[in-house]
Amino acid sequence: MTSDTNAIIRLSRSVIGEEEKAAVVRVLDRAFLGMGSEVQNFERELAAYMDTDRPVHCVNTGTSALHLAVEALGIGPGDEVLVPSITYVASFQAISATGATPVACEVRGDTAYIDVDDAARRVTSRTRAIMPVHYASSVKGIDDVYNLARAKGLRVIEDAAHAFGCRVGNGLVGASGDIVCFSFDGIKNITSGEGGAVVTGDADVARYVATARLLAVENDTEKRFSGERSWVFDVLHQGHRHHMSDIMAAIGRAQLKKIDQFGEIRRNLARGYQAALADTADLTLLDYEYTTAIPHIFPVRIGNGRRDGLMDHLRANQIQCGLHYGPNHLLTYFRTDYALPIAETLGRELLSLPLHPLVTDDDQRRIVATVKDYLNNHG
């Protein structure tokens, strides 16, 4: 396929085909749009894909998944949760929504993954959990997180928003680990429009999530999956309107069938960037391998204060780029009284290049040429 040299190349996008459209029409025609058999089937298919016996509970966003996971552990006011400063603000908001304090931690310069030594120094008597983020779909560093958690008696909530379909150890992310939360928002490795899921081997946490997503109405999941409703019920704890709908699940089910195809394209694009950008002035690749990962984003570091200039140059050439992410500990609501120098440097240097299944080889050549033209030839 050739690309129009003036067409905008998008940073990310949903890739929706006739299958997703037909699946939504099928649900619309049934005239039951809420949480029912479509969600149940999506949950079963997700578990089968991950090759796990663990239950999968689908919710309306990845943020809700994280929020319910934190709440399910009984974490709330007075408690602290360790979290890397470089992440989407969703991780921080999910923690603070419970009344707990997100404790911003340093990240590693080579991967942007949570720096476990820094996290260890921030453990106090109030620390209950650690929330590693599989930034850019890399799980490098997760073993150190579990070692720290074991040593300090912490629970682990994996923010796997970027890592659906990625491998860890001998299986897929979600098949192991304490509590794993996914996002299926519009631009993730697969989408359900908006959506998310919680996977855990802890039966109490799983039960809590199943109930709390439906306003904590007892046994409502089972009822809805058999086409009924709870009319007379009890409520034992806080609940939320966080469940997934059948319309969303229908999109997700169609997308799940395409995960291998999407994964292959994303991996090849990431490898293509790595090969083409290896020797570019002021550009440092992050230390990732794309043998099995399905990369959600492709961030690089742009040094020497040239990041913003490169962004302007890319935009002027109709190429979108992104900032994943500014450090959360510098946001007014989450501001810390301590510095995190590496996170702050990354906040000035990170720039994400277009990555989605519709980026063509020609697009990628144009992106690489534009980046190199600016970094090697300008200034």
Give least dist CB 324 to ligand PLP, A: 8
- Alpha-carbon distance of 249 to 243, in angstroms, equals 11
Number of residues that bind ligand PLP (CB under 6 A): 14
Residue with tokens 């960037």: 273
Using the rule CB under 6 A, which residue among 40, 87, 211, 221 binds ligand PLP? 87
Q: Quick check: 159 binds ligand PLP (CB under 6 A)?
A: yes
Residue of minimal Cβ distance to ligand PLP:
62
Choose, from 188, 257, 258, 372, the residue flagged as catalytic. Answer: 188
The residues, ordered by sequence, that sit 6+ positions from 221 with a Cβ below 8 Å of its Cβ are 35, 57, 210, 211, 213, 214
User: Quick check: 285 and 278 in contact, CB under 8 A?
Assistant: yes
Site for ligand PLP in 28-67 (CB under 6 A): 61-63
Binding mask 229-248 for ligand PLP (x = CB under 6 A): --------------------
Q: Quick check: 88 binds ligand PLP (CB under 6 A)?
A: yes
Site for ligand PLP in 116-155 (CB under 6 A): 133
Q: Which is nearer to ligand PLP, 71 or 366 (CB)?
A: 71
Q: Which is nearer to ligand PLP, 36 or 196 (CB)?
A: 196
Using the rule CB under 6 A, which residue among 24, 27, 83, 90 binds ligand PLP? 90
Q: Which is nearer to ligand PLP, 213 or 313 (CB)?
A: 213
User: Quick check: 92 and 277 in contact, CB under 8 A?
Assistant: no
Q: Which stretch binds ligand PLP (CB under 6 A): 82-90, 201-209, 287-295, 315-323?
A: 82-90
Q: Quick check: 157 binds ligand PLP (CB under 6 A)?
A: no
Q: Which is nearer to ligand PLP, 161 or 302 (CB)?
A: 161
User: Quick check: 370 and 311 in contact, CB under 8 A?
Assistant: no
Pairing of strands 350-353, 298-302: antiparallel
DSSP 101-134: EEEEE-B-TTT--B-HHHHHHT--TTEEEE--B-
Question: What are phi and psi for residue 161, nearest 5 degrees?
Answer: -55, -35
Give least dist CB 242 to ligand PLP, A: 11
Binding mask 172-211 for ligand PLP (x = CB under 6 A): -----------x-x----------x---------------
For the chain, first and last CA: distance in Å? 34
Give least dist CB 285 to ligand PLP, A: 20
Q: Quick check: 115 binds ligand PLP (CB under 6 A)?
A: no
Tell me which DSSP letter residue 321 carries: -
Q: For this structure, is 188 an active site residue?
A: yes
- Alpha-carbon distance of 154 to 136, in angstroms, equals 24
**Is 57 exposed, middle or buried (CB count within 10 Å of its CB: 0-12, 13-18, 19+)?**
buried
Residues forming a β-bridge with 159 = 133, 181
Give least dist CB 42 to ligand PLP, A: 15
Cis peptide before 325 (omega within 30 of 0): yes
Catalytic (active-site) positions: 188
Residues in contact with ligand PLP by the rule CB under 6 A: 61-63, 87-88, 90-91, 133, 159, 161-162, 183, 185, 196
